[in-house]
Amino acid sequence: MKSFPMFIRTSGRRVVILGGGEQAAQKMRLILKSDAQIEIAAPALDPELKGVVGAGRAQWHRGGIAPEFFRGAAMGFIATGCPGLDASLHALAQEAGCPVNVVDQPALCDLTTPSIVDRDPVVVAIGSEGTAPVLARQIKTRVEEVLPPTLGGLAAAAGRLRSAVAQQVPRPARRAFWRWVFAGPPRDHWTRGAERDAITTIKQAILKGGAPDTPQEGSVALIGAGPGARDLLTLRAVARLQEADVIFYDRLVDPEVLELARRDAERVYVGKVVGAHAWPQEQINALIVAEALKGKQVVRLKSGDPGVFGRGGEEIAAAEARGISVEIVPGVTAACAAAACAGISLTERGVTNSLVLATGTGADGEMPHLSDHLSGPGTTTAFYMATRQAAQISAALRVRGVPQDLEFTLAVDVSKPGQRILTGPIRQLDQVIRDHGVTGCAVILLRWPVSVQRQPLPSGQIDVAPVALVS
């Protein structure tokens, strides 16, 4: 970001507008939404600005402009319509230390005005750092459609009740209480216009010390973060991240995914590196259970899907053994993401009717036994964590009659900026991995069409075919 988004307090503070025409009026309309003390400086004012001054909502400064005019103001807007005069006024504002927005001169702007969705006291500001104002307005329109016009009234009512909640609802139950207010019956009542019912429902819950059926104990959510891109997370995964008190995450989880969590959530890295398990699984299990027993909402964030080669079963068992509720939020697993990025289908009518997910690294770090059912005519096989075992896998498949000219797809860093899709005949799998320096996140896909029969183990030298780099 080149500009940091934040809200500036206007209560009891001056906001100055320099200019008397339509451009100045546009800025004035924005500031009228606040409670700022508005001062307009111009030799003459258009009828709209005169009306605001006449109504007592703004003061009119007719004299000369010096740095003192800007001093102490929360912000200023310079909109005289004359570029040269605007630049001179900007210099005076800079001398006084007042941040300003200069209309149509981005290089002189300390501030930019966003597109605003106003549900006072809930305000959504959308900016593009001046690069795409039309896009910002389009986003504003979408947000306007999502947020009910009455939402601000519910937020204001909640604000008036915060002290009562602090006095009567135990601290561990407050977050769940407010979640119930804004996502449960109170919001439903308010949205349909039954404000009195909403307030009555909230007050009754406060007197009872919390929201109805609010769990006082902690919980664990195993969330699939998908292959990397944060926009591949499910809506439920995002919701659980924003509710979490503590998040345990893996090495392969993209940092951008963690940005979706609420700002004050504790983040604990429990990543594992192949060949160097700095965090034993038993220790991770114990930490998850310990935090949940404190009454916290715990998220275990795993790349891909938590139920596919993620050791989620061990973490579930550890939590359930202590009576902790567990939720599994599925994610886009690597095989599906790899196929999508490569533009192929994992199953296809008349071509492949079975899908097998296999791992190339067993519990002891070695390649597990490659049985016959992993691959055959009509089967797509996805090998996870298999790049180090590529030579052994290729040889094992060869022994089991896999035609050596079948094309594999090697998907590397799927959905991430460095994504690569490599292809070649299965006999060259290990060579491709070595030639392209593939070491980390990669999935090997092998589609064996039903029409292609097994081949006997060939004898002699196998021909070398070129390797194609798709992307």
Pairing of strands 58-61, 14-18: unpaired
Q: Which distant-in-sequence residues (6+ apart) come within 8 Å of 125 by Cβ?
A: 5, 7, 114, 115, 116, 117
Helix spans in 270-422 (H): 281-293, 312-321, 334-342, 390-399
Q: How far is CA 186 from the centre of its chain?
A: 27
Q: Please say if 250 is a catalytic residue.
A: yes
Residues 437 and 411: their CA atoms lie apart, in Å, by 13
**Cβ-based neighbours of 81, under 8 Å, separated by 6 or more:** 19, 21, 23
User: Which member of 272, 405, 413, 430 is catalytic?
Assistant: 272
What are the backbone dihedrals phi and psi of residue 320, each rounded to the nearest 5 degrees, phi first? -65, -30
Residue with tokens 């919390």: 210
Q: Is 272 a catalytic residue?
A: yes
Helix, strand, coil percentages, rounded to 5, for the chain: 40, 20, 40
Q: What is the DSSP string of 239-251?
A: HHHHH-SEEEE-T
Interstrand relation of 325-329 and 219-224 (parallel, antiparallel or unpaired): parallel
**Could you say which of 250, 254, 296, 302 is catalytic?**
250
**Residues contacting 310, CB < 8 A, separation 6+:** 222, 224, 302, 303, 304
Cα–Cα distance between 222 and 209 in angstroms, integer?
Answer: 29
Of 8, 10, 28, give the one whose Cα is nearest residue 79.
28
Positions annotated as catalytic residues are 250, 272
